[in-house]
Structure 1
Amino acid sequence: MSDRPSPSSNALTALEQLIQVVAQLRDPQGGCPWDLEQTPESLIPYMIEEAYESVDAIRRGDSEHISEELGDLLLQVVLQAQIAQEAGDFSLAEVAQGITDKLIRRHPHVFGDAQANSPDEVRQTWQAIKAAEKGEDESRLSSKLARYARTLPPLKASQKISKKAAAVGFEWDKVEDVWQKFEEELGEFQEAITQESRQRQEEELGDLLFVLVNLARWYDLDPEAALEGTHERFLARFSQVEAACDRPLSDYSAEELEAFWQVAKQKLAL
């Protein structure tokens, strides 16, 4: 037999070193001032950013950057657990044990005697066990929709909420009714911009965006993919505009920048 350490042994060694490094960064005596001032709440933007950067690396199929970004994401997990441990709330060991126990509970077809012969059956079992664990009434869709609103990015939550509500009949009769609702919400938003408070303006903007998500669903379009495509096109055109300018963009008039923009659009369309 080989004396070489197993992959799991190597992983545990590396993880233990990471835990020690994070603990040292948080040490009041000689630690890092930036790390010491962090709280669970202050780290939220970094967790979100690292999660999205990991997704981007995975989509690009860049294994080197996937590894790097997953490391950055793992750091956020370890740092959150370190701060919690300092406060006496929980430890990284409890985090790991908790997810291990959850996986075993929610896979009775692997770790027990239950049967699940398809991915759909696995999903149904998972959701049923999850609802029982959380004490949720599966007959009440509103509790599930509220969880989407709390835990998902707003655009993704809108898609989920819209789709689930429509599936139980909370839906327009025809797409023309959705367009009519869009016109109604657009008018209310325009009125709020000129006459209402900032809070009302944001409320009406949210209503307008939610109707747009519903329109996308009716036409079987993915609003997230659509917005990502817009970002890509904008950045490609903007890069062309910058390349065409020989002085700072702020030195040009709006008309001159628009002319550069139109040239970029035509060039990239070829």
Structure 2
Amino acid sequence: MTINKLDNLLEVMKELRDPINGCEWDKSQTFDSILPYTIEEAYEVADAIDKKDFEALKEELGDLLLQVVFHSQMASEIDEFNINDVINSVVNKLKHRHPHIYSQNKVENSEQQETSWEKIKAKEREEKSIREGKDISVLDNIPNNFPSMMRSEKLQQRAATIGFDWDDINPVLEKVLEELGELKHELTSTNNEDRILDEAGDLIFACINLLRHLNINSETALRAANFKFEKRFRILERFLSSSKDQNSIPPQELNALWEKAKKVTG
């Protein structure tokens, strides 16, 4: 992007927020009110990447960039920061986290680079906690509003940095089975909703940990499972299209059609 193009976007955003001549909707927005749009645009970028739709990706990245400009414009109106501060912040961060490029510190391979990156980020978190007068924790600065699966993975990764982890996959798998057993126990004995919720959460957390040990991103895995289910279910619906009353089809027949749909999709 050239400077002129970015300036054009900044100018349009400024005009839309103009107190006198601006757009009523844009003028009425706050950081909180456009937050859902910011999250939505990030997910739409991810969707375009999943579909390898580069025309859509171009458009969605533009929408996401608009969110950055929108937030920056609102911040500049209250003298907090502006778009230049945002850009300078990320430039400084990138240089600080790549000392093997911007200083004399060298790394031999990508593994060493990742280790160096994590050490630098840990040091940054520690310095931030000290500035804010907070107790230092390896779990600092994992946003509470992250998607829950992503946050679980981040918590586990951070805990592992101080050795709170298993060395091999077997006890991780056993933990999944243990949590499944505890959930089954609550379902068959107490039937207490709070306890069932608690054990269901523990089971999901353990499954995410298993995937982490397998170097599989849990969000990616679930997204793929969702896509597979949707694809198979749409085929099942086509099989049912000739049925007069789809709601009265016996479960056994639905299961048979589901197995047929699975064979079609592979």
Please indicate the TM-score interval, normalised by the length of the shorter structure. 0.7 to 0.9
Q: Is the 8 A contact 1:189 1:205 kept in 2?
A: no
Q: Distance in 1 between matches of 2:182 and 2:247?
A: 36
| Count, aligned residues | 254
- Equivalent of 1:238, from 233, 252, 265? 233
Aligned to 1:27: 18
- Equivalent of 2:174, from 159, 176, 179? 176
1:73-88 aligned at under 5 Å gives the runs 73-88=64-79
Given the superposition, is the C-alpha separation of residues 113 and 239 from structure 1 closer, same or farther in structure 2, using an over 3 Å criterion?
same
1:40 aligns with 2:31: yes
Q: CA deviation at 1:112?
A: 2.3
Query: What is the identity, as a one-letter code, of the residue corresponding to 2:121?
Result: K
- Equivalent of 1:224, from 204, 219, 227? 219
Given the superposition, is the C-alpha separation of residues 189 and 206 from structure 1 closer, same or farther in structure 2, using an over 3 Å criterion?
farther
Q: Is the 8 A contact 1:47 1:73 kept in 2?
A: yes
Question: Structure 1 segments of 4 or more deviating over 6 A?
Answer: 189-192
- Equivalent of 2:203, from 201, 204, 208? 208
Q: Distance in 2 between matches of 1:208 and 1:188?
A: 13
Report Cα offsets for 1:17-49 as digits up to 9, x if no partner.
Answer: 111111122222232232223221222222222
Aligned to 2:109: 118
Q: Structure 2: which 5+ residue stretches go unaligned?
A: 129-135
Report Cα offsets for 1:43-68 as digits up to 9, x if no partner.
Answer: 22222222222223234333222211
Given the superposition, is the C-alpha separation of residues 171 and 75 from structure 1 closer, same or farther in structure 2, using an over 3 Å criterion?
same
Aligned to 1:4: none
- Report the aligned-residue RMSD: 3.6
> TM-score w.r.t. structure 2 length?
0.76
Percentage of pairs with the same residue: 33
Report Cα offsets for 1:168-187 as digits up to 9, x if no partner.
Answer: 25449734354123211443
Q: CA deviation at 1:263?
A: 2.5
Q: CA deviation at 1:94?
A: 0.7
> TM-score w.r.t. structure 1 length?
0.75
Q: Is the 8 A contact 1:26 1:36 kept in 2?
A: yes
Q: Is the 8 A contact 2:38 2:64 kept in 1?
A: yes
Q: Structure 1: which 5+ residue stretches go unaligned?
A: 1-7
Q: Is the 8 A contact 1:54 1:70 kept in 2?
A: yes
